[in-house]
């Protein structure tokens, strides 16, 4: 793991400790696990460092849903700039973070960034495993590998 990812992880753990139980560090770990799984299918199209940073910061500010993407991006920018992270890479991290949020995706639909698709699917993956939310989220996934993984996990529970 790169130094910036390690530094971001340490910073973020303290911030996530302030959150409601649905958006604490264990949520980031769940999202990261699925993101790394999906990354294996899209290595040629994915920057591993950008993906990891986007996952780490995607919900770092979460007082309410409507503002969380913008406020999380603000925190990520402040942190990454303080670490002298390159501006062009900050833009890629924040684009993935914004596009994982429905209002931004709707407004900026032309994004070709694979990291946001992986982040979006990974963020919603565990919701689709819940029988109450399965139908809502299953059809919203962007990557076929996510749907296959959901079906595999649901099958494990049924067996």
Mean pLDDT within 123-140? 93
Retrieve residue 57's tokens.
């910061």
Report the C-alpha gap between 136 and 132 in whole angstroms: 8
Confidence of residue 2 (pLDDT cuts 50, 70, 90): confident
pLDDT tens by residue, 27-49? 999 999 999 999 999 999 999 99
How does the average pLDDT of the chain come out, rounded? Answer: 89
| Distance (Å, whole) CA 6 – CA 9 | 5
Identify the residue with better confidence: 106 or 92: 92
**Is the dihedral angle over the CA atoms 14, 24, 109, 126 positive or is it negative?**
positive
Higher per-residue confidence, 25 vs 113: 25
Q: Quick one: tokens of 115?
A: 């990291």
Domain that holds residue 96: 3-158
- pLDDT confidence tier of residue 110, bands split at 50, 70 and 90: low
Give me the CATH number covering residue 77. Answer: 1.10.3210.10
- Structural domain total, the chain: 1
Burial of 75 (0-12, 13-18, 19+ CB in 10 A): middle
Q: Is the pLDDT of residue 147 over 70?
A: yes
Position 20 scores a pLDDT of 67
């Amino acid at each position: 793991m790169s130094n910036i990812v390690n530094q971001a992880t340490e910073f973020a753990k303290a911030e996530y400790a302030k959150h409601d139980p649905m958006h604490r560090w264990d949520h980031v770990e769940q999202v990261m696990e699925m993101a790394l799984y999906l990354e294996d299918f899209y290595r040629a199209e994915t920057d591993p460092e950008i993906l990891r940073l986007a996952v780490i910061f995607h919900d770092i500010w979460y007082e309410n849903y409507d503002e969380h993407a913008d406020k999380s991006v603000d925190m990520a920018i402040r942190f990454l700039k303080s670490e002298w992270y390159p501006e062009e890479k900050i833009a890629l991290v924040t684009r993935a973070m914004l596009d994982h949020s429905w209002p931004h995706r709707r407004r900026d639909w032309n994004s070709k960034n694979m990291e946001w698709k992986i982040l979006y699917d990974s963020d919603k993956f565990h919701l689709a495993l819940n029988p109450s939310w399965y139908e809502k989220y299953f059809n919203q996934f962007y990557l076929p590998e996510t749907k296959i993984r959901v079906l595999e996990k649901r099958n494990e529970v049924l067996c």
